[in-house]
Amino acid sequence: MANNKNQTRINGLNNNIQLYIFTEIFRRLSRTWYPILFLFYIFIQLDLKLFGYLVAVTSITVLIFEVPSGVFADQYGRKLSYMIGQIILILTSFVFILSNNFVYLIIAAFLYGLSNSFLSGADKALIFDSFYELKRSNEFRLYNGKLYAYTMVVAAISTFISGFIAEYNWNILFFIGIIFGLINLILISKFYEPKIHEKTSHKLHFKKSVLELINSRTLLFLVILFIFINSLLESLSDYHQVFAMEVGWTVSSFAMLFSISFMLSGISAYIIETIEKYIKKDFALYAVPVLMGLVYFFMGYLNNYYGILLFIFEGLLIGYYYVVLEDIINHNVSSRRRATIWSLSSFVEQIFVGLSSIFIAYFSTFFGFQFSYIFVGLFIGLGGFICAKLSLRFMKK
């Protein structure tokens, strides 16, 4: 009987590894509108300053629910948290279809933040713990690189098509998101739940997670680096769309550019082994943020139709960098608190996303996008370099 249960567990965990690829692809398809969402705001003639408020609503929602949802995932199941997040994402698309005033947009922004809270951390913990329980965690980095590549290829194709659909009818795009979301909900229900560790009080679990993060200097500075890079890139990515419109790009042409960026991101993640034959991981940890900073600096400096083309290099850099950083962080986090620590990371990240999004919106209103991009480029390059150097310093101790 025990052997049968163990074999069922092994089969279930192996199934997770195959199934997770499809759930991540369909989750991406269920929010295929997101890469060009700001173009929807432009389409409905929303004031630029209000863009920042909508981003702030999403960020504040994540701030409120991120950590509780991470504790929920650790103590009640990553699969359940994943399902709740996908259901809320489906509702988000539905509200966008109904949106005819700013109140509906606020509700949609709130739901999107709530969805992210339940999805972030739970997804990473579910798949890494499946590898961990099978004693295959050393395979995770290559798996994650290929997974990222597959999802980026899907994102590239879907974003390209979405641009043309949006020019015809935005509601069709949101409806497509609902259909893919429902398919993904069925797929998520097929997951086998990795081991849920003994339950403690939520406060005690949270306290132990914070202490683990603080006491491990290596983990702490790696998470700080991840937060710093991710928050600034997320804040600025929404404004690429507005910047592109200002210098003459159409919705469909920018969607095509976004697709190329996604494709390059997927390629760099897929060939991670080849990249590491020529570039040492330690060097890449601080060199990539500097290169990202240069990309944004020159996008702002050129401030024209051709400057936006530099955006494709962001994808090339991000694909490799995210896979490397996530792998290092996962190997430094205990299984029982993995979802909570990833949620803590997202919690702090959203503080920076909310603040920086409002700053960029107001700064761009008064001084133009040119100086916003130059400033953020310098900040990413210098700040990322410092954070990476500190991470390496403690890793070697």
pLDDT of residue 246: 74
Whether pLDDT at 339 is above 80: no
Supply the pLDDT for residue 115: 92
Quickly state the pLDDT bin for 394 (edges 50, 70, 90).
Answer: confident
pLDDT over 70 percentage in the chain: 91
pLDDT of residue 278: 82
Q: Return the closest-CA partner of residue 105 out of 46, 169, 170.
A: 46
Label residue 130 by pLDDT band (50, 70, 90): confident
- Report domain extents, the chain: 2-193+204-395
pLDDT, greater one: 353 or 26: 26
| pTM score | 0.70
Q: What is the mean pLDDT of residues 307-317?
A: 79
Name residue, tokens 């590549």.
149
Mention the CATH class of domain 2-193+204-395: mainly alpha
Contact 293, 377 (CB under 8 A): yes
Low-confidence winner among 2-6, 11-15, 114-118 (lowest mean pLDDT): 2-6
Burial class of residue 199, CB neighbours in 10 A (0-12, 13-18, 19+): exposed
Looking at residue 114, what is its pLDDT? 92
Return d(Cα 355, Cα 363) in angstroms, integer: 12
Whether 121 shows a pLDDT value over 80: the answer reads: no
Q: What pLDDT score was predicted for residue 91?
A: 95
Structural contact between residues 144 and 233, judged by C-beta atoms closer than 8 angstroms: no
How far separated are the first and last CA of the chain, in Å rounded? 47
- What pLDDT does residue 335 have? 65
Q: Which of 157-161, 188-192, 235-239 has the highest mean pLDDT?
A: 188-192
Res 90: pLDDT: 95
Q: What is the pLDDT of residues 291-307, one digit of tens each?
A: 888 988 888 888 777 77
